[in-house]
Structure 1
Amino acid sequence: MKIISYDPARFADLPDYPFAENWLEIELGDGHHGRMHYLDEGPRNAPPVLLFHGEPSWSFLYRKMIPILVEAGFRCLAPDLIGFGKSDKPDDPSFYTYVRHVDWLQQWRNAVCPQDAALFCQDWGGLLGLRMVGEEPDRFACVVASNTFLPTGGGQASAGFIAWREFAKTSPEFEIGAILQRATQTERSPAEIAAYDAPFPNEASKAGARAFPQLVPVEDDKPGVAENKAAWAGLAAFDRPFLTLFGENDPVLGSAGPLLASRVKGAAGLPHAMLSHCGHFSQEDRPEELAQGVIEMARKAGFLP
């Protein structure tokens, strides 16, 4: 197996992404190591907020939210998951597993932000982040979730997800920038589309992006079902502020917002919303509303002044 490192030339002149690079070496498993890239913006002693992206995006997705959150007083930490963004990319799809993704992100969190933190998560950022909340709820001051869920089998997947999973597995053309364009309600510029294509110079570099949809445990025999069921005990009992802000124009996960809010104790009585003119990648369509939701939940929790 080859570990593909990023080409800095492909990331030149990214629009609205002036952020410094930060790196952490991660034990990938089977004797392999890789570098995880992450953003670390704002004062180091400020309350941290973790910003977890999903499939097939990277920390570029948070470029509109980070300035708002830093201005409000946060330290923003946004990793690129292994296989995405500037982070290293194993070229073997079978090397990517749910348990490894959790472990890789947990290694990063323990090294970079061991203290309590707020969390914003979307898509696979929620399959990872909500799992972490369920397993270690005391490490999270508050949560804002968007277009995500913590699935536990049962075969209850939307038709939109089943179609997406098959497309990711079999389509000969897997153009990441075009995927982002189709899954938002606002038009992406050519430079923004190029920024989403930048991490993926060839088919081998897309191994993680193609693998991710196959790992979602929507059927009972999928790895991760038992672990997610166990994590739901802690997630359901999470009594700190838990807000859902979902894009209503998302055919894959848009309908999951009310269900998620109904199952978490800390979500009771909060101003959950289905955002209009908002697709799956809500950070592109409604960044101001999402950032404000994080700010309000952190203040409600007494985590942000």
Structure 2
Amino acid sequence: MQILRTPDDRFDGLADYPFAPTYTEIDDTLGGRLRVHHVDEGPREASPVLCMHGEPSWSYLYRHMIPIFADAGHRVVAPDLVGFGKSDKPAAPEHYTYARHVAWMSDWLIRTDLRNITLVCQDWGGLIGLRLWAAFPDRFDRVVVANSALPTGDQPMSEGFRSWRAFSQDVPEFPAGRIVHGGTVTKLTEAEVAAYDAPFPDESYKAGARAFPLLVPDSPDNPESAANRAAWEVLKTLNTPLLTVFGADDKVLLGAERSFQRLCPGAQGQPHAVLPDAGHFLQEDVGPDLASRTLDFIARTG
């Protein structure tokens, strides 16, 4: 497996991202090793808030929320998925599979030994993070699902998703920063767009970003549809408190929150919200509000 590693100087001087890097070596599933980066702020003895990003962002997405959680006395852990941010990036698209992403982050979770977790997950952070919850339910105290889903391929994909997937494969240069910009209501500054582009010095670093849209289970016989159905069967038995907070201006995932509210026992009676001034990347639009709702959720269910 050929591994690319973004030079450190690509991340110099990013506004509102002063966090020291932490690295963990994991099994790449092919006999080698991968280096996974995460932010680790706040008191180490506190129960962690695990913030998982999606496509095509990285832990920078949570920069406005991390200090709020830490200032409230929580440990905050925000990893970069393999292929993103400061984590290693396999160069070949075929090395990225849904099952391998779950295996990579499962190994990372075991090695970091996080417990009593409050999971905050968005986009692919949910597709992977919710599988971690199903696999290691005793490690999770509560879950916040923000503009994410756990698809099984049993329902047709929306036109919005099909258009996004086609764009992701056909565009000559994959514009990570502009994609995040387009998924917000408030819109990003040029410096913020550049920060989302920072992990990718050129197109060779973007195999993981281009692969993700193709990995979403889109038919009942997709290789990961059965695994997600099995995960749902576990989640439906858990009383772990679950809160959904979605941005209303999400053309792809709005409505997915209803599955969690209907199927997860711990979602009953929670103050779920659809926020009118937020898009798919609601951490950019309403990050402090999402952090505040998460802190209230922790206090109520503690």
TM over 0.5: yes
Distance of 2:256 and 2:109 partners within structure 1 = 27
1:63-82 superposed matches below 5 A = 63-82=63-82
2:47 corresponds to 1:47: yes
Distance of 2:203 and 2:231 partners within structure 1 = 34
User: Is the Cα contact below 8 Å between 1:215 and 1:222 reproduced in 2?
Assistant: no
Deviations, residues 62-89 of structure 1 (Å, cap 9, x unaligned): 0000111111111000100000001110
User: Is the Cα contact below 8 Å between 1:126 and 1:150 reproduced in 2?
Assistant: yes
Q: Quick one: which amino acid aligns to residue 168 of structure 1?
A: S
Q: Residue 141 of structure 2 corresponds to which residue in structure 1? A: 141
Distance of 1:301 and 1:269 partners within structure 2 = 12
Q: Secondary structure at the match of 1:248?
A: strand
Distance of 1:105 and 1:151 partners within structure 2 = 19
TM-score norm. by structure 2 comes to 0.97
Q: Residue 279 of structure 1 corresponds to which residue in structure 2? A: 279
Q: Residue 189 of structure 1 corresponds to which residue in structure 2? A: 189
For residue 240 of structure 1, report the CA deviation from its aligned partner. 2.3
User: Is the Cα contact below 8 Å between 2:48 and 2:117 reproduced in 1?
Assistant: yes
TM-score norm. by structure 1 comes to 0.96
Bigger shift: residues 6-15 or 59-68: 6-15
Q: Quick one: which amino acid aligns to residue 127 of structure 2?
A: L
Distance of 2:95 and 2:253 partners within structure 1 = 26
For residue 186 of structure 1, report the CA deviation from its aligned partner. 0.8
Distance of 2:286 and 2:16 partners within structure 1 = 16
Q: Secondary structure at the match of 1:143?
A: strand
Q: Residue 239 of structure 1 corresponds to which residue in structure 2? A: 239
Distance of 1:228 and 1:187 partners within structure 2 = 33
User: Is the Cα contact below 8 Å between 1:240 and 1:301 reproduced in 2?
Assistant: no
For residue 47 of structure 1, report the CA deviation from its aligned partner. 1.2
Distance of 1:256 and 1:67 partners within structure 2 = 29
User: Is the Cα contact below 8 Å between 2:119 and 2:144 reproduced in 1?
Assistant: yes
Distance of 1:156 and 1:263 partners within structure 2 = 19
Q: Quick one: which amino acid aligns to residue 180 of structure 2?
A: L
Q: Quick one: which amino acid aligns to residue 73 of structure 1?
A: G
Q: Residue 108 of structure 1 corresponds to which residue in structure 2? A: 108
Distance of 1:282 and 1:218 partners within structure 2 = 24
User: Is the Cα contact below 8 Å between 1:143 and 1:297 reproduced in 2?
Assistant: no
Unaligned runs of 5+ in 1: none
Unaligned runs of 5+ in 2: none
Q: Quick one: which amino acid aligns to residue 21 of structure 1?
A: P
User: Is the Cα contact below 8 Å between 2:173 and 2:203 reproduced in 1?
Assistant: no
Deviations, residues 212-260 of structure 1 (Å, cap 9, x unaligned): 1100112112121111111111212221220000001000112212232
Q: Residue 288 of structure 2 corresponds to which residue in structure 1? A: 288
Q: Residue 214 of structure 2 corresponds to which residue in structure 1? A: 214
1:17-56 superposed matches below 5 A = 17-56=17-56
Q: Quick one: which amino acid aligns to residue 98 of structure 1?
A: Y
User: Is the Cα contact below 8 Å between 2:6 and 2:201 reproduced in 1?
Assistant: no
Q: Secondary structure at the match of 2:150?
A: coil
User: Is the Cα contact below 8 Å between 1:143 and 1:294 reproduced in 2?
Assistant: no
For residue 2 of structure 1, report the CA deviation from its aligned partner. 2.1
Deviations, residues 247-293 of structure 1 (Å, cap 9, x unaligned): 01000112212232221110011111111111111110111121122
